[in-house]
Amino acid sequence: MSILISFLNLLLYLAIIIFVAYCIVWLIRGFMGWSIDANVYKFGQIIVGLLCLIAIVAWLSGVLGLGGGLPHFWSYR
């Protein structure tokens, strides 16, 4: 059961990362009306992909017992 909860926590982290990236792109393109250079956009996609990959590797290391896993923002008492 704890693996399922930690997997759902991983999905929450990934959703937050992708949502923040989408909001930044929407703010720049839609709200401000600026265009994003293709190289800058691709570099941003690489950064978001690396952040997602880091979260997945941290979760896998926690599941396999090799590390602490993802950080906890909520304390369960």
The answer to whether 59 and 70 have CB atoms below 8 angstroms apart is yes
pLDDT at 45 > cutoff 80: yes
**Domain-located, residue 22:** yes
**pLDDT tens-digit series, residues 22-35:** 999 999 999 899 99
**Domain-located, residue 70:** no
In which domain, by residue range, is 16 found? 2-63
Segment 3-15 shows an average pLDDT of 91
pLDDT at 74 > cutoff 80: no
**Domain-located, residue 72:** no
**Domain-located, residue 58:** yes
**Domain-located, residue 47:** yes
* Tally of structural domains, the chain: 1
* Cβ neighbours of 9 (radius 10 Å): 19
**Domain-located, residue 35:** yes
How far apart CA 24 and CA 43 sit, in angstroms, is 14
Q: Residue 62 has what pLDDT?
A: 83
How far apart CA 5 and CA 22 sit, in angstroms, is 25
**Domain-located, residue 77:** no
* Reported pTM: 0.80
**Domain-located, residue 71:** no
